[in-house]
Amino acid sequence: MTSQSRIFVALDYADCNAARELVAQLNPEQCGLKVGKELFTRGGAELVKEFIAAGFDVFLDLKFHDIPTTVAKAVRAAAELGVWMVNVHASGGSRMLTAAREALEGLPKRPYLIAVTVLTSMEQADLAEVGVQGTVAEQVERLAQLTYANQLDGVVCSAHEAEQLKQKFGAGFMLVTPGIRPQGAALGDQRRVMTPVQASQLGIEVLVIGRPITQAPDPARALAEIYASLT
């Protein structure tokens, strides 16, 4: 199939102006923006609002993981910023997931709510270390099942689990995959990686890409080249 995947650029910058500089070269019709823990801690809600005002869909990636009440209130606060998507950790369990979903009920414009399964930086040995038995694929499916049962919109996983999850949960369950690396790009701390071309062929809705774009000599061009490779 041709690509239906949208790219969200992970703006993992230590400096708000560096992030603004890249965003000024991007087209909201072409990509979304992901604001994570580092940039949010630097620039806060005002920076997020600035990107939204410039026309971008913003994925606020703060991966909430706390008691149900706290997560529900944090998700609601994210929604009131006007973000397009917000995430929580599926391992917070059913009550936390349901509280997060319910916190968005009744809003006129509700963000997508997705849950992180197993971080793309983790492999089998990392799971064993934190007491999780079984394979990465099994743990991803277990947490995706929990997310699905609690009626969230989808999950964050690696592209390696996409086929398995699409088969089990169908097209309506959104998949968001970081750990995307063009051929030859440095992996950094990522472990479960796939190229944008391969990932887009799996019907994944959102590809999250950070360093291969933000650390390129010409980030806007790097993004354009990735999109060109998908067509």
Residues at the site binding ligand OMP, with contacts judged by CB under 6 A: 10, 12, 36, 61, 63, 87, 116, 119-120, 156, 178-179, 188, 190, 208-211
- Active-site residue 126, yes or no? no
Question: C-beta of 230: minimal distance to ligand OMP in Å?
Answer: 16
List the catalytic residue out of 63, 73, 126, 166: 63
- Active-site residue 57, yes or no? no
**Which lies closer to ligand OMP via its Cβ, residue 69 or residue 215?**
215
Residues 214, 10: contact at Cβ < 8 Å? yes
List the catalytic residue out of 49, 66, 73, 126: 66
Question: C-beta of 225: minimal distance to ligand OMP in Å?
Answer: 15
Helix axis angle, 94-103 relative to 136-149, nearest 10°?
Answer: 50
Q: Which residue positions form the known binding site? A: 12, 34, 61-70, 120, 181, 190, 210-211
Rounded Cα gap, residues 166 and 207, in angstroms: 15
Rounded Cα gap, residues 58 and 67, in angstroms: 25
Question: C-beta of 108: minimal distance to ligand OMP in Å?
Answer: 26
**Which lies closer to ligand OMP via its Cβ, residue 28 or residue 188?**
188
Using DSSP, state whether 115 is helix, strand or coil.
strand
**Which lies closer to ligand OMP via its Cβ, residue 101 or residue 211?**
211
- Active-site residue 66, yes or no? yes
Helices (DSSP H) in the chain: which residue ranges?
16-23, 37-53, 68-81, 94-103, 124-129, 136-149, 162-169, 196-200, 211-214, 219-230
Helix axis angle, 68-81 relative to 94-103, nearest 10°?
Answer: 30
Question: C-beta of 144: minimal distance to ligand OMP in Å?
Answer: 13
- Shortest-Cβ-distance residue relative to ligand OMP: 210
The set of catalytic residues is: 61, 63, 66
